[in-house]
Structure 1
Amino acid sequence: MPSAAEMLLSVFDRVYIINLAHREDRRREMEAELNRIGLSLSHPAVTLFPASFPPDQGDFPSRGARGCFESQLGVHRAILADGAAHALMLEDDADFAPDFTPLLAAMLPALRETRWDMLYSVSPLEARPGDQPVGAHLLRLSADHTFPLAHFVGFSRRFSERAVPYLEAMQARAIGDPAGGPMHVDGAYCWLRADQPDLVVLGSRQPLAVQRSSRSDIADLRFWDRLPVLRQITAAARRSPPVLALLHRLRRR
């Protein structure tokens, strides 16, 4: 069997990892995750993409929503500039699933044989009305099959060509505009999918990555994340197997 890195790069020309410049802890954790599958931040196909850190929320629901929206819009612009046919976008709090290698291997035939524009692999999912099976591990998702997370998402160049002007127009409108104004980026993708149903959106029945527990830079911090010593203890606890297992079970509910 090819290595996990070889399989991943046979699907995606480039891997973009969104990371805030001052979050060295997340860069170290992401480097460790990449090493697990045979990649690194220094690999020529991997780009550490500077995340947006806005001074305020502007017209978005929150400062964090604005930062995520601007960061992912920037990744789509980079995909077009770099000429990637398919690209993977990771947020820097993504952990590859324990069964990442065999799961990706099982998905490869369908991913290679199907023309697709967006690939969600962020949480376990079951088919809903309108979804269509694509092989044993993937579903072609209907436009009303939505997701609250976007830490492991693949895009075709065609998707990014549509996403850049669409997200820019959303960003320029007033909040609550009936045509779609500033909002959480996962919601914006749902609007785009509904407006342009010819885009082929796939979802994996089991996720290739989960979201790592990590303190936020933008949300209000708990007291244990504000005090340096407690912050170090909390960070270690978040990486412990029992805590990770608990968080994974809670996300599946």
Structure 2
Amino acid sequence: MTPLTGLQRLEAPSPLPPGGALLAACGEMMVINLPERRDRRAEFERQLRTIGLSLGHPQVRLCAAIRPPDAGDFPSIGAHGCFMSHLSVLRQARDDGKARIMICEDDLNFSRSLSRRASLLATELSEQPWDIFYGFTNGGVRGTQLRPGGQLVRLAPDQRFECSHIMAFSGRAIARLVPYLEAMLARRGGDPDGGPMHVDGAYAWFRHAHPQLTAIAAHPDMGYQRASLTNVSHPGAKDRTPGVRSVAALARKVKNLVTAR
């Protein structure tokens, strides 16, 4: 039998659907969603179907987001809730002894090219050890490509991203991350050792404090943030006014269609 060339290997079909290959590489997918945000849940279900998954898949878990009563020392109630929601998922993963998990926020859209790229990306993720994986950096990634022509870049500990829409963590990272975030939560805002902040900033602080952990990112991005009614800040006037609210929602849908990547 004639051996496959490198190009043929890259093009060889995977026995798993694109999303299944990513689950095999990154672990169970935890989808953070406020129970009352049925709109976001439905949109994310549509996104999952583009990579051969659904919210009914046994390795896709819907995780109820936390809405705290106030902002506390966080920038907003939403930022507080997002931080607590990520921490809750990470605590559960630690307690369950998960080797890896992938966290997705419900306003994530997958890129149109991901269904074609996912199997190769999953292969790259499976070929090397890593602790923290960013699937979306909004094009801000820089670093050393792990394989010529590949889709992964190694990140320096001081690289910061304001993105936490799709991330994956190893069990080794989770074991250190949970107490680190809990310590942040116990401090006052503005503490020089790191106090309450947006969770993407907290992840950046954690990586800087733990340079021994291997952090990598997808390049190009696996997805991007979808335009939707915010959970992080107070809704604007257009989302509080009856009649105007539905027009604003339609405008967001049109924007998402026009700006799809």
With the length of structure 1 as denominator, give the TM-score of the two structures. 0.90
Q: Which amino acid aligns with 2:119?
A: A
1:165 correspondence with 2:179:
yes
Q: Considering only CA atoms, is the larger Rg found in Structure 1 or Structure 2?
A: 2
Match of 2:247 in 1: 233
Aligned-partner Cα distance in 2 for 1:126–1:22: 34
Matches within 5 A, 1:142-157: 142-157=156-171
Match of 1:95 in 2: 109
Q: Which amino acid aligns with 2:256?
A: L
1:33 correspondence with 2:33:
no
Match of 2:256 in 1: 244
Structure 1 residue corresponding to 2:97, chosen from 80, 83, 93:
83
Match of 1:4 in 2: 18
Aligned-partner Cα distance in 2 for 1:85–1:233: 44
Which stretches in structure 1 are left out of the alignment for 5+ residues?
A: none
- Count residues in correspondence: 244
Aligned-partner Cα distance in 2 for 1:112–1:48: 25
- Is the 1:125–1:205 contact (alpha carbons within 8 Å) kept by the matching residues of 2? no
Aligned-partner Cα distance in 2 for 1:113–1:192: 25
**What is the CA-CA distance between 1:245 and the residue it aligns to?**
6.1
With the length of structure 2 as denominator, give the TM-score of the two structures. 0.88
Matches within 5 A, 1:104-123: 104-122=118-136, 123=138
Which stretches in structure 2 are left out of the alignment for 5+ residues?
A: 1-12
The superposition leaves residues 130-152 of structure 1 with CA deviations (integer Å, 9 ceiling, x where unpaired) of x3221221111001211011101
Q: Which amino acid aligns with 1:121?
A: G
The superposition leaves residues 31-52 of structure 1 with CA deviations (integer Å, 9 ceiling, x where unpaired) of 1111222211121111111111
Q: Which amino acid aligns with 2:187?
A: R
Give the root-mean-square deviation of aligned CA atoms.
Answer: 1.7
Structure 1 residue corresponding to 2:215, chosen from 182, 201, 204:
201
**What is the CA-CA distance between 1:114 and the residue it aligns to?**
1.1
Match of 1:50 in 2: 64
Quick check: 100-109 or 180-189, which moved more? 100-109
The superposition leaves residues 121-173 of structure 1 with CA deviations (integer Å, 9 ceiling, x where unpaired) of 2122442xxx3221221111001211011101111111111110000001001
Q: Which amino acid aligns with 2:82?
A: C
Aligned-partner Cα distance in 1 for 2:139–2:117: 13
Q: Which amino acid aligns with 1:162?
A: R
Match of 1:132 in 2: 144
